[in-house]
Amino acid sequence: MTNNSTKGIGDENETLAVRFLIQNGYTIVERNYYAKKLGEIDIIASKDKTLHFIEVKSANADFDPIYNITPAKLRKVVNSAYYYMKERKLDIAFSIDALIIQKGDIELIENITL
């Protein structure tokens, strides 16, 4: 699989994730937010006065894609979330979440931690 096809699949899955979030009452704030030297957050959404920083992972195999969220990746997402909040001078509740897409099923896991 080439990088282009991998990126294409990733983009499709992020679009599925956005659709899922909207159907479940979330408002999409931003997609593919890049914090300088820290990393990227796939989706930033809000619901019930809470900001959700969401990492999207997918797989078509039997391997559970949640395991692709390593401690190093999670630290980057957390640091990027803090950067986002500071940059925009926000003082609201937030959550680091994972949205898992596997074999057509979508699962949102809220408040993931190390």
User: Each residue of 17-64: pLDDT tens digit?
Assistant: 999 999 999 999 999 999 988 999 999 999 999 999 999 988 766 667
The position carrying tokens 């979508």 is 106
pTM: 0.87
* Cα-Cα end-to-end distance for the chain: 31
Q: How confident is the model at residue 10 (pLDDT cuts 50, 70, 90)?
A: low
Which of 114, 15, 19, 96 shows the shortest CA–CA distance to 55?
Answer: 96
Q: Which residue has the higher pLDDT, 14 or 96?
A: 96
Catalogue all structural domains in the chain, each as residue range(s) with its CATH number.
Answer: 3-109 (3.40.1350.10)
Mean pLDDT for the chain overall: 88
Burial 2-25 (b: 16+ CB within 10 A, else e): eeeeeeeeeeebbebbbebbeeee
